Each structure stands twice: as structure tokens, then as C-alpha cells.
């Protein structure tokens, strides 16, 4: 068995080879600080109708309950900042993370490759990959692994790199060399994200009331969008990047180099009329491999109608 320092160094090198922007490692342990904060958020009902957030409470806070014998949480960041935004003039707006192929599959495949390499290099080990689809408090672990901090907009911010990153993890029974947690919050007195949110969803620094969040309302929320939000979506029909776009740290963002995240060619030149006349068959074809399919055709057209009839 390789020693902890060599193993950790090797894993980080392999992560870079696979295209990850950063990799940090934390000890698999109970997230004591986050437990009370998360419980308070749930009790306040700020998760809206995302009832799944209430499930597996203990697993969300302790990776050892997710995988028997877990000793390390390896955290990865993958850039999705586009070189060029899709046109926004006379157009409906998608969140940047949804321009191309569904990140769940793109990143999960890379983590599976890395796990295979780890087993070849380190011998018989146990490891599980997670990409925003299991009870894992990803931003908390990214902080524990020394990669950055959770900003006032509740997004994870990487020093001098911004927040346009997907976070993923490998939980393993390997004992590794752990990185120093990122204790610094470098938002300072800035409140640009709080002031820019058109629905006032950032109710306190780092606290989002999902019931007011455009991302939640256009993706997770399945009922009729309340009239109180009319005129506030600013042409957004899937997700929202407003609080990230105004963040000063994102002036350091560099464009990604992942071909799978390039926009689907059929949406590059679309205008509002094209979206409004989109058929269900077109939706299925264009968004077959996209995160946008999460809304389903009915949900996307609901969003378009809501934004169109904003007055």
C-alpha cells in the first residue's frame, strides 16, 4: 500500500489529467457545525417542496453512514464557465450550467474512471462517486477540503477563480493526507448578490429561501408559479445566475474547455419566438442529454408562459 502523502498527490494529479480544476481531501467525519444550520433551515421550511431534503438527515451530515468504513472525502471542482453567453437580447435565458450535456453524467463518468485507476494503483479499496444526486452536503465538504468558502449567495466560491464550478466527491475507505479547511470567508462587506436578487431570495448571508429563488421556481417547483413573482424573472426560464453574475470574484472566471458543455447547436440562435413555438418532439430531441429535461416539456412551457405574461 502506498503511503498517504503519495496516494493523495497521485489522486490530485489524476484529477487534473481528467480535467478537474481542483481537488481537495477531507477526513470523513460528522459535520457538527453544519448540522444545526441545516436543521434550522429545514424547520423554517426554506426548502419549499423539496421534501427529499428532509430524508437521510444523518447521512447528509456523516459520510460514514453513506459508506461503511469511509475515511476520506475527496472533493473535485469542474469548471463550467462558458467562453460566451448565449444571446440574451430577444431571448429567454438558461442558466449557464445547462448550456450543454447534463453534468451529472459527464462528471460521474470521470469519477468512475478515477475510481478504476485508484483501484489499479492502490489495490483493493472501496469507493463511491457522488455528483449532486445523493445526500451529501457538497459545499460543506469543499470547504473542509480547503477549496474555498460558501459566499453570501450560498454558492461555493473559489479564491481568484469564482463560483462557476460543479462540485463532486469520491468517498473512500483509503486513509489519505487531509487538506487544511478553508476558514476564511472573503466576501467581506460586499452585498452585491443580496441586492441584485430580483425576488429577494437571499434572506441572510449564505441563506437562501428556496421558495423565493428563481432556480427553485423554474426547476424544482411543479405547481403554478405564484403571481407575486410576475415581472421578476428577467426572462429566465431555467435556473438563474444573477447572484453569480454580479459577484466580484467571478471577474476571475476563465472559460471551461469541456466540449460536452458547449451549447447544443439548436439553441445557439434561438429567440423568444422559437422558444414559444417549441414542440414537445423538439424539446425531447434538443434536451435529450441536457439538465433542462428535468423540467419536462410541460414545466419549461409553463416557465415560458409565466415570463411572457409578466404584466
Does the active-site annotation cover 195? no
Q: Which residues pair with 171 in a beta bridge?
A: 73, 128
- Residue 162 contacts residue 249 (beta carbons within 8 Å): yes
Q: Mind spelling out the 3-state secondary structure of the chain?
A: CCCHHHHHHHHHHHHHHCCCCEEEEEECCCCHHHHHHHHHHHHCCCCCCCHHHHCCHHHHHCHHHCCCCCCEEEEEEEECCCCCCCCCCCCCEECHHHCCCCHHHHHHHHHHHHHHHHHHHHCCCCEEEECCCCCCCHHHHHHHCCCCEECCCCCEEECCCECCEEEEEEEECCCCCCCCCCCCCCCCCCCHHHHHCCCCCEEECCEECHHHCHHHHHHHCCCCCCHHHCCCCCCEEECCCHHHHCCHHHHHCCCCCCHHHCCCHHHCCCCHHHHHCCCHHHHHHHCCCCHHHHHHHHHHHHHHHHHHCCC
Nearby residues of 154 by Cβ (< 8 Å), 6 or more positions away: 139, 202, 206, 207, 208
Nearby residues of 279 by Cβ (< 8 Å), 6 or more positions away: none
* Options 29, 132, 173, 260, the catalytic residue: 132
Residues serving a catalytic function are: 132
Amino acid at each position: 500500500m502506498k503511503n498517504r502523502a503519495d496516494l493523495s498527490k497521485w489522486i490530485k494529479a489524476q484529477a487534473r489529467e481528467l480535467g478537474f480544476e481542483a481537488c481537495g481531501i477531507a477526513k470523513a467525519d460528522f459535520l457538527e457545525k453544519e448540522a444545526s444550520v441545516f436543521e434550522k433551515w429545514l424547520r423554517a421550511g426554506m426548502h419549499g417542496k423539496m421534501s427529499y431534503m428532509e430524508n437521510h438527515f444523518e447521512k447528509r451530515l456523516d459520510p460514514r453512514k453513506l459508506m461503511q468504513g469511509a475515511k476520506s472525502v475527496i472533493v473535485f471542482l469542474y469548471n463550467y464557465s462558458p467562453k460566451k453567453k448565449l444571446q440574451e437580447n430577444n431571448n429567454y435565458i438558461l442558466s449557464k450550467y445547462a448550456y450543454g450535456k447534463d453534468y451529472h453524467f459527464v462528471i460521474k463518468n470521470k469519477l468512475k474512471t478515477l475510481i478504476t485507476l485508484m483501484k489499479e494503483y492502490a489495490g483493493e479499496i472501496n469507493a463511491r462517486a457522488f455528483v449532486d444526486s445523493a445526500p451529501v452536503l457538497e459545499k460543506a465538504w469543499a470547504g473542509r477540503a480547503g477549496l474555498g468558502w460558501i459566499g453570501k449567495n450560498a454558492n461555493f466560491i473559489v479564491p481568484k477563480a469564482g463560483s462557476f464550478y460543479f462540485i463532486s466527491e469520491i468517498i473512500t475507505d483509503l486513509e489519505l493526507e487531509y487538506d487544511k479547511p478553508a476558514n476564511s470567508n472573503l466576501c467581506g462587506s460586499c452585498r452585491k448578490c443580496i441586492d441584485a436578487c430580483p425576488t429577494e431570495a437571499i434572506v441572510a448571508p449564505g441563506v437562501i429561501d428556496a421558495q423565493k429563488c428563481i432556480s427553485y421556481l423554474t426547476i424544482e417547483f411543479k405547481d403554478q408559479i405564484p403571481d407575486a413573482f410576475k415581472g421578476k424573472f428577467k426572462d429566465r426560464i431555467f435556473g438563474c445566475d444573477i447572484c453569480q453574475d454580479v459577484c466580484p470574484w467571478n471577474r476571475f472566471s476563465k472559460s471551461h474547455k469541456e466540449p460536452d458543455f458547449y451549447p447544443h447547436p439548436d439553441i445557439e440562435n434561438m429567440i423568444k419566438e422559437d422558444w414559444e413555438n417549441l414542440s414537445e418532439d423538439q424539446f425531447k430531441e434538443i434536451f435529450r442529454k441536457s439538465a433542462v429535461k428535468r423540467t419536462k416539456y410541460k414545466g419549461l412551457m409553463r416557465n415560458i408562459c409565466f415570463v411572457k405574461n409578466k404584466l
